[in-house]
Chains A and B, each alone.
Chain A
Amino acid sequence: MDMRTPLGKVRGLGSAKEGTDHFWRQRLTAVANLPLLIFFVFFVARYAGAPHAEFVAALANPFVAVIIALVVTSALVHMRIGMQVIIEDYVHAEGAKIALLMLNTFFAIAIGGLCLFAVLKIAFAG
């Protein structure tokens, strides 16, 4: 016997109220990551160890700057929800789990803030 309300059935979000959102977001960012990170790998292979002026000039190119910003954004969203699953799998103490889940979000946003600021500063101010 199905105990769900008609509205609940239509929404299809389940008891956690998120439905397949986490799963889908992981796949969406994975699809985005594939071409973005292939670009990034070649970018790193080309500019690792390059002189400062050369590296800054490369990052000042609008297309490069935007792609690097997208790489950072997509990868950080993907890794944040990935680490969320790892924490939920292995940390069972409620307090520690919530603290680590918060820390996970803070870490992703901090790294994102640093990377995006650096890219924008180089792109706008050299």
Chain B
Amino acid sequence: MNLPEHAPILAIAVPLLGAFALPLWAKLHRSLRDGWLALVAGATAALTALVAVQVYTTGIQVYTLGASFPADTVAPGGFPIRIILTVDALSAFMGLITALVAVVGFAYAWRYLAEDEGKTLALTLGTLLWAGMLGMAFTGDLFNLFVFFEVTSIAACGLVGYRTWASRGPEAAFKTMVMYTVGGLFVLLAVALLYGEYGALNLAYLARQIGGSLIDRIALALLLGGLLMKAGAVPLHMWAPDAYGEAPAQAVILLVANTQISLYALFRVLFTLYGGVPDPGVGWLVVALGTLTLLVAALMAVVQMDAGRLVAFGAVSQIGYMLLGVGVGLTAVAARPAYGLVAIQGGIFHMLNDAVAIGLLFLAVGAVERASGSRNLGTLGGLGHDLRWTTGFFLLGALALAGIPPLNGFASKLMIYQSSFLLSPILSALAILASILLLAVFVRAFQGAFLGPRLRKAEPVPVPMLVAMGVLALGVLALGLFPELVVRHLVAPAADALWTGRDLYLQAVLGR
């Protein structure tokens, strides 16, 4: 078998099937389960990396299911009815983010989750969520986008609510599930509208047909609504802090990656599917939602007393920065001034930075909860005496997220500030204001939990958890110290896929 050719579908199939085999191994022995998980996670990460290397070196990779050879995307009648995967640089970039987050999350979960508190279940759902995210990133047709959207929804809500012995988890999970399901149905309705009009589900074929009729606009509105619901942008964000606050820490970083994948799907819809109908109004809508998200979430974070919910609002606020960056690019995509490309690069780079920095914070909060049994900033204090490494990691993540210069959040936020300033100075002023608010919030949380006299005894944090946090902390430092390397080799091709890559995408699938 020709592995590189089949890597995109294997990257989805291996975690999907591996997840369902996980509970069977656990029935035999838990060390077998851990070994199997390491095998599946390692294979999936390697396959994702293989796909990424291929896409970054040779261009868009298509894979047709059920055809005689993988590049045969168009059925003999000349009509694109086949199920295809289309991986361009942006999809591959998102795949890499999910791989990083999932591997770090599983390493952390090894000692973080208690064996008698549904550890097997959590690991299974986490692997399923990973498979769904890779599917959303790689799929090339709209209906499978919906299917993988629902796979991630079910796995994510299971992860939020599986701890049924407490009431808060299921409550957050119910709220999240209703939002996700309704969002998914909006997406399905949009798919049905487009299918009814054009008789196809293939993203590239639809992109060529869409001409901006009333039905197209209604479908765009439904897709925007559904995907923003899942991304947790502000008018539809109420599920996000609950879910982030109640899920176990290793699941939260997967949930964060999941919101980013929904944003990816949104950008795919806006730039590739509707890229032929440039309407600056939609760009301004995305910019307005982004600005609203980053401001409102930062303001909400100020009043939180629970460390988990505080970081959760910080995470929602970061979604706003990504929307702002890519939205600025969308307003400019017709005229193509240079700042539009910088804005998109900033937004996409911020996805990676956010996954690393907010992931570090969530893992640190999880370590604090495990070590001291509480997350309430009113009762915590002086943890810095016992948990030296965790203290350092939390501080590093907080400073990176608030955009302090040598760290990674600054690198991408600067690109967003610069480019949104050229569109409208008010936007960058608001974005900087939100960053300052976040800095204040995180300094308060840091001071409340880690500084001061020792208020309660803290257990030592297990080494695998520290190693997982250490990997992310190294990422924070490396991305902050060498941003231009990462931007040039990883982010710029991904941004080009949105900025100028539409024709290449259509060509790769339709062949002309």
**A and B found bound together:** no
A residues neighboring B (CB under 8 Å): none
B residues neighboring A (CB under 8 Å): none
